[in-house]
Structure 1
Amino acid sequence: MSRMLRASAIMAAGTMVSRVTGFVRSMVLAYAIGTAALGDSYNAAYAIPYSILDLLLLGVLSSVVVPMIVRAQQHDPDRGRAYEQRLLTLSTAALIVVAALAVLVAPLLIDLYTDWDRGSREFEVAVTLARFILPQLAFFGIGSVAGAILNTHDRYGAPMWAPVLNNVVQIGAFLLYAGLGTGGGDLAKVTDGDLALLGLGTTAGIVAQSVVLIVALRRVGFSFMPRFDLRNARLGEMGRAGIWTIGYVVVTQLGFVLTTNLASSAGNEVPGHGISPYTLAFQLFQLPYGVIGVSVITAMLPRMSRAVTEGRFDDVRTEFGSSVRLICSVMVPVSLLLMVLGPAITVPIYGHGANSVADAVYIGNVLQVYGLALVPFAIFQLLLRVFYSFGDTRTPVYIGAGTTAVNAVFMVLLSAVLPARYTVMGLALAYAIAYALGAVLAWTLASRRVQGLGGWTVGMALTRMYLSALPTAVLALAAVWVVTEALDGLGFVNSLIVLASGGGLGMLLYLGVAHRMRIPEVNSIVGMVARRVGR
């Protein structure tokens, strides 16, 4: 537990700063272009390279590449160095080609991800932005492989801190647009120069992030030498393992395509209620998982893979149990606070400039619904890593297909019965239902694989966490009621008061109650923080 806490703390610190600067980035972007038509065009273009990377690389990294690098380090005479160089060479060459092709077919990609007419201004602007943003595919892919190699060397700092530079560069670009651009949030007035500043500024951030990771590789003694002897790259083994992971990502991306189409259709009917509020609320929803969940999983997966390779299945169960309890000790109170404080969180961040307070409140309403999904989503992601550590990439595809199918059914159903102004909230609810059911299925199958995951122990721990968090939720509700009744609504200052009283004091109350209830994960976190502060 202490080793996991130390590794996770390093990553969580970097990720926290990254997410905070990411919030500033989103805040400045919303200030500059708003969340109506121009915001939807930007967010549609911005989402596409991430979707392509998911299909080609990022899903395979966590489930296939990291375990294969670990095995190469354990069994190859050069401790896997040549294999790492082949991997970086292959990914670099492939992603340069993919980036070039993506730029050429940008209109087809925008048409796939949105419900806009090809001749509309939204479509044309999104295509222009996509052609400026899509070249980042090559740089992002290179950085991702470099980060995976660093993680297998137990160097977690650079991969977690490099995105901070990315955010800073993009913030600078958006501030330049806000100060020098002529279009503001008006889609009709935005010029090609404005779009170039937005798009190239976005890509410049990824370039800077990748450079930092390459420099970090050199500092651990990695000297890149292009290697094209692909017969020794174990592509066959990677393909056999990765085909199922790619299948899983394809399934989830089909769900994302449906989501963006439904959201863009709603935005056509009610401006400000389309892709942008979905994207911004989802980013906020991902923050707790990104800070805590990703940090724990990144530290957990290499160790779990080593335990499986050495046949130490008891250690696999122990690693999983410790991870899920550690993550949920934070996710449980945060999920309740998101459900209560959604608008109070989003108004100070997004209620400025080209974006109105009403637009920001709607983003908060979507975030409230997403709060339901936080704990199931985090547990779901942990469970998939159990299969990946065994080299099983097939089962997650079936689980992901089932989860995505349930999500799609509920998205279509809720979009059909809800008014357009509530469509995006319905998409968030469908997401929560799907991942709750998916987590149940994944737990059942993973438990069979390792002959038990300690469900009773985890269930009792979660029960105690929720009981400890209930006073926090009540305090947050009281803060919202008192401020909105006494101070007439959630403006910028009123929202900060709610966050300080309901969120800040609420989390302190949770820590106190959890400490009294002797929840060990909370006590470990409090003890670690106290020791660091004492220094």
Structure 2
Amino acid sequence: MSSGLYRSAHAASDGTPPAVEDGVTLISVDGQLPGQEPEPSAPAVTAAVGGDGGTAGHSAVMAVGSLVSRIIGFARNALIGMTLGAGIGDAYTSAQFLPGQIYELLLGGILSSVLVPLLVRRRKADPDGGLEYTRKLLTFAVLSLGVATLLVVAAAPLITAVQSSGSTSVGYHDLVTHFAYLILPIIFFTGLSALIGAILNVGGHFAAPMWAPILNNLVVIATCGVFVVVFGTAKGLRPEDMSGGRIALIGLGTLFGMVVQALGLLPALRKVGFSWRWRWDPRSLGLGEIGRLAGWMLCYVAANQVAVFVVVRLLSRVAGKNSASVLAFNNVFLLTMMAHGIIGVSVMTALLPKMSAAAAEGRYAEVSADLSRGIRLTAAALAPIAAIYGVLGAPISVMLFQGGAYGNDAALATGTVLVVAAFAVLPLSISYLCTYAFYSLQGNRTAALINLPVVAVRIGAYVVLAAVLDKSLSAAGMTAGNALSYLVSAVISLAVLRRRIGRLDLGSIALGLGKVLVAAAVAAALGLLVVHLMPGAGAPSGRGEALLQLLAGGTTVVAVYLAVATLLGVREVSQVAGMVRRKLGR
């Protein structure tokens, strides 16, 4: 949304749930809602842009846009916490989840897995390049989104009651509802942005969909600045203290950010020669075919959204109680997705075209070899990042989020959640790679069916951990539930893939993972020792101590990891370094 609302460049980058950008699907999909697994898109879209050279060029544009968007997004998310504080920020973040959840149910997964491949086919098959079909589809989608948005806004009190009424904080639920009335209309502009982005991508234009979300982030950052100038920071404010003016400024500013994002795509739409005309002809769209194709993806998405509702409802119980809650959980999820987006998505961008081509020709041994190589590469690259999160969770959180109404206690509580998230980094990316392997095999149904027990495990872990842990550890517990579900997803996926394509060289994968984990463990142990010798001893009181801990601890972790991994013969470390050098050179 800008907060994770629109699964596009702004999702995971701006500080909303999220996100994972995907240089392969070419729809700028980079964010997931916290508590859910990535929803890979159909690999068929890759063919729309031509060969490897085209894909590499487009990926470079998207990578730069994603990096800038993530940096600005972290600034946005940090400012939201500093401006509103933990308690008010929890209510705001809870309201921000809603448009993303509903959008995903209405359009999100279906857009990338069904509609974009359909537009690609019509572009190639129709004499007019699919222009009339696209106009009819856009007309139907805009009207449907408009009606759905109006109905959702009208039902805002009911929706927020399901999600956040469990809070015992006075006025919390009412505040979430007030924010929701202003933020839920984002659904319409999110869908419009996604549809325009899809049209641009299919037409070979990738820059605007990746860069437009930055406008969204800048608008919200400006809104935070105006809020501080007019009202000051919300430090010490309780939900019942939020005036109508404060709520209106933040809520409407958030909505305006998405409006600006949608409007920012219109010049690019004209540049590719697309002129929209109202064409109401739903019968010619083949809605029955679209529905059949979308069925399994809808099942996948719906299961994930149930998990999101559960985690937000459970965390709402501790919101405003000086505990890490929805805002902290979301901040940490963004850091987790950032690591995954930079490494996991980059590896998959390189491997997916080869895997898809090999699968289409029945060369399953090559699919297996590519998957094995991808897992080892991803693990080798992500292990030191996971170790850094585990060792330096507190100083990272203080550096990124402390300030204004977001005090040191709130930042340290967020750091505890980030330490737990360290154990989710590797399972998340490995499960993601496995799911993309299914998509290369056209296994949409299989991926959706695997996701059902995974989400069941996730929800079960949420409920159990919320019951047994102290409330102050609720967000950390929910993050642990995510990590467990990602691990279950990876294990089930590997077992099913082994039956589907034969030998997976699991011995090589296990040996490679073992070496990487040993190197990461040694690096983490020495990093912890160094950090605890520094001022603040792992619990910095301000950015000065946090910076010293980050410099000393981070340097130790990286250096020790590289040294031990080299001694253990982890070849993938040098391969990752070479891949990075080639990317920078290109």
- TM-score (ref. length: structure 1): 0.88
Match of 1:161 among 202, 211, 234: 211
- The question of 1:213 aligning with 2:265 is answered yes
Shift of 1:189: 3.0
Residue number among 58, 66, 72 corresponding to 1:21 in the alignment = 72
Contact 2:200 2:269 in 1 (8 A): yes
**Mapped pair 1:245 → 2:297:** yes
Aligned 8 A contact 2:91 2:176 in 1: yes
**8 Å contact kept, 1:99–1:138:** yes
Match of 2:513 among 462, 477, 481: 462
Deviation, 1:68, is 3.2
Residue in structure 1 matched with residue 331 of structure 2 by the alignment = 280
1:359 to 410, 413, 416: 410
Say if 2:95 and 2:177, in contact at 8 Å, map to a contact too.
Answer: yes
Q: Which residue of 2 aligns with 1:234?
A: 286
Q: Which residue of 2 aligns with 1:337?
A: 388
Shift in Å, 1:130? 0.9
- Structure 1 distance, partners of 2:207, 2:216, is 15
Q: Secondary structure at the match of 1:482?
A: coil
Q: Is the 8 A contact 1:260 1:275 kept in 2?
A: yes
**Partner residue of 2:83?**
32
2:105 aligned partner: 55
Cα distance change, pair 374–156 in 1 and its aligned pair in 2 (3 A): farther
Query: How many pairs were matched up?
Result: 533
Q: Quick check: 1:92 aligned with 2:119? A: no
Q: Write the distance in 2 (CA, Å) between the matches of 1:399 and 1:161.
A: 34
What is aligned with 2:447? 396
Cα shift at 1:433: 1.2
**Aligned in 2, Cα 1:507/1:234: closer, same or farther, shift over 3 Å?**
farther
Using the TM superposition, give the Cα deviation of residue 310 of structure 1 relative to its aligned residue in structure 2, in angstroms: 6.7
CA distance 1:64–1:379, change in 2 (3 Å): farther
Q: How does 1:364-403 map to 2 (within 5 A)?
A: 364-403=415-454
Cα separation, 2, equivalents of 1:197 and 1:471: 49
Q: Aligned-pair distance for 1:91? A: 2.5
**SS of residue in 1 equivalent to 2:165:** coil
Does 1:346 find its partner at 2:397? Answer: yes
Equivalent position amino acid for 2:161 in 1: D
CA-CA distance at 1:397 after TM superposition = 2.5
**Given the superposition, is the C-alpha separation of residues 513 and 227 from structure 1 closer, same or farther in structure 2, using an over 3 Å criterion?**
farther
Q: Name the counterpart of 1:123.
A: 173
**What is the CA–CA distance in structure 2 between the aligned matches of 1:392 and 1:126, rounded to whole Å?**
39
Which secondary structure does the structure 2 equivalent of 1:353 belong to?
coil
CA gap 1:72/1:508 in 2 versus in 1, 3 angstroms: farther
Kept in 1, the 8 Å contact 2:395–2:539? The answer is: no
Provide the C-alpha distance between the structure 2 equivalents of 1:290 and 1:321, rounded to a whole number of angstroms.
19
User: Are 1:344 and 1:490, in contact at CA under 8 Å, matched by a contact in 2?
Assistant: no
Distance 1:343 1:133, change over 3 A: same
User: What TM-score comes out, normalization by structure 2 length?
Assistant: 0.81
User: What amino acid is the match of 1:211?
Assistant: L
Which consecutive unaligned segments of at least 5 residues does structure 1 have? none
- Deviations, residues 386-429 of structure 1 (Å, cap 9, x unaligned): 33344443222322210111112222212111121122211111
Unmatched tracts of structure 2, length 5 or more: 1-50
Q: Which of 11, 36, 43 is 2:93 aligned to?
A: 43
Equivalent residues of 1:15, 1:290 under 8 A apart: no
Mean Cα displacement is larger for which, 314-323 or 205-214?
A: 314-323
Distance in 2 (alpha carbons) for counterparts of 1:534 and 1:179: 44
- Residue type at the aligned position of 1:415: A
State the Cα deviation string for residues 267-292 of structure 1 (Å, max 9, x = none). 36x33333222222222222212334
Q: 2:29 is matched with which residue?
A: none
Quick check: 2:430–2:490 contact (8 Å CA) kept in 1? yes
Superposed CA RMSD in Å reads 3.3
Q: What letter is aligned with 1:400?
A: N
Contact residue 170 and residue 240 of structure 2 kept, 8 A: no
TM-fit CA distance, 1:315? 6.3
Further displaced range: 138-147 or 77-86: 77-86
What's the counterpart of residue 492 of structure 2?
Answer: 441
Taking a change above 3 Å as real, the CA distance of residues 53 and 309 of structure 1, as seen in their structure-2 partners, is farther
Corresponding residue SS for 2:534? helix
Shift of the 458–228 alpha-carbon distance from structure 1 to 2, 3 Å rule, reads: farther
Q: Which residue of 1 aligns with 2:466?
A: 415
CA apart distance, 1:117: 6.8
Deviation at 1:172, TM superposition (A): 0.8
Task: Judge conservation of contact 1:350–1:357 (CA < 8 Å) in 2.
Answer: no
SS at match of 2:474: helix
Aligned to 1:200: 252
Return the alpha-carbon distance in structure 2 between the equivalents of residues 133 and 247 of structure 1: 26
What percentage of aligned pairs have identical amino acids?
Answer: 34
Q: 1:523 to 1:61 in 2, by over 3 A?
A: farther
AA in 1 matched with 2:171: R
Amino acid corresponding to residue 253 of structure 2 in structure 1: G
Give 1:359 deviation, angstroms: 0.8
Q: Are 1:182 and 1:194, in contact at CA under 8 Å, matched by a contact in 2?
A: no
Q: 1:273 to 1:384 in 2, by over 3 A?
A: same
**Greater shift after overlay, 225-234 or 158-167?**
225-234
Letter in 1 for 2:248: A
Residue 144 of structure 1, CA deviation: 1.7
